[in-house]
Amino acid sequence: MNLDEVPQHNISTYANNKKAVYAVDRDGKYTRVATSGWEVEEAATRLALAEYARQAAQARKEVEAGRKAPLYYHIYANRMDIPTLAQATGLFRWRIRRHLKPHVFASLSEKIIARYADALGISASELCTLPGDEGKN
Cβ atoms of residues 102 and 68 within 8 Å: yes
- Cβ neighbours for 75, distance < 8 A, ≥ 6 positions apart: 59, 81, 82, 85, 120
Same domain, 75 and 16: no
Same domain, 101 and 60: yes
User: Quick one: CA dihedral 93, 94, 99, 100, positive or negative?
Assistant: positive
pTM of the predicted model, to two decimals?
0.74
Tally the domains of the chain: 2
pLDDT in tens, 8-64: 766 655 566 777 778 888 888 888 888 777 777 778 888 999 999 999 999 999 999
Same domain, 74 and 8: no
Same domain, 82 and 21: no
pLDDT > 60? residue 137: no
Q: Find the domain containing 105 and state its range.
A: 45-127
Q: CATH no. for residue 110?
A: 1.10.260
Is there a domain that residue 50 lies in? yes
Is there a domain that residue 134 lies in? no
Q: How far is CA 11 from CA 14, 34, 42, 48, 58, in A?
A: 6, 13, 8, 17, 30
